[in-house]
């Protein structure tokens, strides 16, 4: 009696048997809302010896027209078995994805590749292209799963992922850019991209094609704009002139879209209904436009919060929100949205140091106050220092000026919109005791060190910008020397601060000494005290 035995290979998971990557082949018109993806399988990177190697590749979604352009490198004299079938996407007992040739059992498209021993010991590269519907996306990606199995029991499974940029994935997009060259003329430049799936042409008549998919071009697109959606104040307004709206082609390359060439105005007309709806009627009868963006600017009214609210404090930031609903052809109520904001820091009050890296013991400071030339009543200016530096206000360095508003200009710096003063427009120095009073302040910080500064009380209304400049004297070693200024009035409150960092090697050893005469009982500073400094002689 002869016993027969069957050798069952020991299953052993090994790295370097299969890798999967993909690339979106985006850029050409694809009727039926489809897109191509090129996939790359890298097999046997570890160069194992095998008698046979089987690959099961589970393809993304429902593919259109099978698998195209399979290339295998290197080529041997043996044919590679290629079978297009189906899978359920489940790893079976043999550590491969289940595979069959009937869609009755499995519902996912799959490709099976069989390599014989002539490929043993070699790294193999397989490339092919699938055409998928956009509906095959899993979240934001096309997914592809693969498993490899050798006759000796080596196995590995992997996946490939192609993430699609949101601007393409949604078939539309909205984006904005702040244009902050000057506060009075600042705008937000908006761009709305439309048709990024590339499955339509925009124009009149039929598509120039003998393909059975031939269909009418899209003659009209409507965009319902909602500015300031969710913002506390309506800082933005739509342009009312149709010539302020311009169309551009969209440049397409792989997985990105960018602004292309301007579309000739003869190809379209813009209609505005005055309530935020923008209608684009296309006049061209060709297939030149299959994705486009409309571009326009909305002016920014930074002062809108003042008229909208009884709140005195300046908002921490200005919100620039824009939502749009797009309709054309079979596309219904496609929503896109973009949000930007701008810090208010610096706009109404800006504090800076004149010496960013002081080499001696003086730091110069300046502040631009009320650059909008608003009428402010009962104004006080409070300035508090942090770090070991001090101020004496009874010096020639302490100046407070009126400024002609024509001398105020704005520039963008570190994300802030900063006012600066042209000193040729200084309109006279305010007189202490007549135009304003000043009193010193001393208070303890959180560490118990003394902070000092001053309070300026303005007499009467302020109706012009003000420019304050003075010096502080370094009295000890600090890593930073800070200065915080705040303005309070019956109309609104605002504050600004600036910090000077000084390295230990960048400071002179010389220091100044600040002498103050204080009341022996209440410890308050006594104004008008004078001191005489004499050299101490040896006895």
Which CATH number goes with the domain that contains 471?
2.60.40.1290
Chain centroid offset of residue 95 CA: 44
The answer to whether 131 and 63 are in contact (CB under 8 A) is yes
For residues 274 and 176, membership in a common domain is answered with yes
pLDDT of residue 287: 87
For residues 182 and 288, membership in a common domain is answered with yes
pLDDT of residue 507: 33
Domain end position, chosen among 343, 358, 377:
343
Hey, which residues does 220 pair with through a beta bridge? 281
pLDDT of residue 216: 80
Domain end position, chosen among 318, 343, 368:
343
Q: Residue 7 domain-assigned?
A: no
Q: How many domains are contained in the chain?
A: 3
pLDDT of residue 307: 78
CATH number at residue 55: 2.60.40
For residues 234 and 289, membership in a common domain is answered with yes
Q: Residue 331 domain-assigned?
A: yes
pLDDT of residue 195: 94
Distances (CA, A) of 465 to 120, 248, 537: 82, 43, 52
For residues 332 and 238, membership in a common domain is answered with yes
Q: Residue 311 domain-assigned?
A: yes
For residues 88 and 209, membership in a common domain is answered with no
For residues 113 and 151, membership in a common domain is answered with yes
Look at residue 351 and give its three-state secondary structure. Answer: strand
For residues 233 and 248, membership in a common domain is answered with yes
Q: Residue 211 domain-assigned?
A: yes
State the sign of the Cα–Cα–Cα–Cα dihedral 99, 110, 33, 196: positive
Q: Residue 517 domain-assigned?
A: no
pLDDT of residue 393: 76
pLDDT of residue 532: 57
pLDDT of residue 429: 95
Distances (CA, A) of 282 to 109, 194, 203, 252: 40, 14, 5, 21
For residues 136 and 230, membership in a common domain is answered with no
Residues 6+ apart with CB under 8 A from 180: 186, 342, 410, 412, 417
pLDDT of residue 510: 35
For residues 160 and 224, membership in a common domain is answered with no
| 533's tokens | 């400094």
Q: Residue 534 domain-assigned?
A: no
pLDDT of residue 58: 95
For residues 234 and 120, membership in a common domain is answered with no
Q: Residue 445 domain-assigned?
A: yes
Domain end position, chosen among 343, 364, 379:
343
For residues 236 and 331, membership in a common domain is answered with yes
Nearest to 382 by CA among 236, 509, 223, 495: 495
For residues 34 and 151, membership in a common domain is answered with yes
Domain residues for 315? 167-343
pLDDT < 50: residue spans in the chain: 4-8, 212, 356, 358, 502-515, 539
Question: Residue 74, preceding bond cis, omega within 30 degrees?
Answer: yes
Which residue in the block uniquely carries the two structure tokens 């194992």?
48
CATH number at residue 251: 2.60.40.740
pLDDT of residue 250: 95
Q: Residue 379 domain-assigned?
A: yes
Q: Distance (Å, rounded) from C-alpha 417 to C-alpha 180?
A: 7
């Amino acid at each position: 009696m002869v016993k027969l035995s069957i050798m069952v290979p020991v299953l052993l998971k090994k790295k370097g048997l299969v890798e999967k990557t993909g690339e979106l082949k985006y850029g050409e018109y694809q009727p039926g809302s489809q897109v191509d993806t090129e996939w790359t399988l890298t097999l046997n990177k570890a160069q194992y010896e095998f008698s046979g190697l089987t690959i099961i590749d589970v393809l993304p979604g429902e593919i259109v027209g099978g698998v195209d352009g399979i290339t295998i490198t290197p080529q041997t004299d043996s044919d590679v078995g290629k079978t297009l079938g189906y899978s359920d996407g489940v790893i079976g007992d043999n550590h491969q994805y289940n595979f069959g040739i009937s869609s009755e059992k499995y519902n996912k498209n799959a490709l099976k590749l069989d390599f014989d021993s002539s490929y043993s010991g070699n790294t193999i590269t397989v490339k092919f292209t699938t055409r998928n519907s956009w509906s095959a996306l899993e979240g934001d990606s096309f997914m592809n799963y693969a498993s490899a199995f050798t006759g000796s029991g080596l196995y590995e499974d992997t996946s490939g992922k192609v993430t699609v940029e949101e601007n393409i994935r949604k078939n539309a997009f909205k984006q904005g850019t702040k244009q902050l060259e000057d506060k009075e003329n600042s705008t937000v430049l908006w761009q709305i991209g439309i048709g990024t799936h590339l499955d339509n042409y925009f124009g009149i008549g039929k598509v120039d094609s003998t393909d059975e998919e031939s269909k009418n071009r899209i003659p009209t697109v409507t965009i319902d704009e909602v500015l300031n959606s969710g913002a506390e104040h309506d800082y933005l307004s739509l342009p009312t002139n149709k010539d302020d709206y311009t169309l551009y082609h969209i440049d397409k390359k792989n997985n990105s879209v960018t602004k292309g060439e301007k579309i000739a105005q003869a190809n379209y007309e813009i209609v505005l209904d005055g309530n935020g709806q923008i209608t684009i009627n296309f006049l061209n009868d060709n297939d030149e436009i299959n994705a486009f963006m409309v571009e326009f600017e909305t002016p920014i009214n930074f002062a809108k919060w003042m008229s909208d609210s009884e709140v005195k404090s300046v908002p921490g930031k200005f919100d620039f929100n824009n939502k749009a609903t797009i309709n054309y052809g079979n596309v219904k109520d496609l929503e896109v949205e973009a949000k930007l904001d701008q810090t208010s820091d610096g706009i109404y009050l800006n504090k800076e140091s004149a010496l960013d890296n002081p080499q001696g013991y003086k730091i110069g400071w300046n502040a631009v106050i009320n650059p909008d030339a608003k009428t402010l009543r009962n104004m006080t200016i409070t300035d508090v220092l942090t770090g070991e530096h001090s101020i004496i206000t009874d010096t020639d360095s302490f100046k407070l000026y009126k400024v002609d508003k024509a001398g105020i200009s704005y520039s963008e710096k570190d994300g802030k919109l900063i006012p600066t003063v042209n000193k040729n427009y200084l309109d006279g120095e305010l007189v202490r005791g007549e135009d304003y009073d000043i009193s010193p302040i001393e208070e303890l910080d959180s560490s118990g060190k003394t902070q000092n500064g001053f309070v300026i009380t303005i007499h009467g209304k302020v109706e012009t910008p003000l420019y304050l400049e003075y010096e502080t004297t370094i009295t000890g070693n600090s890593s930073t020397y800070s200065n915080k200024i705040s303005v309070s009035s019956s109309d609104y409150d605002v504050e600004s601060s600036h910090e000077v960092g000084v390295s230990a090697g960048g400071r002179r050893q010389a220091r100044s000494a600040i002498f103050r005469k204080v009341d022996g009982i209440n410890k308050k500073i006594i104004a008008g005290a004078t001191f005489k400094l004499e050299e101490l002689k040896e006895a």
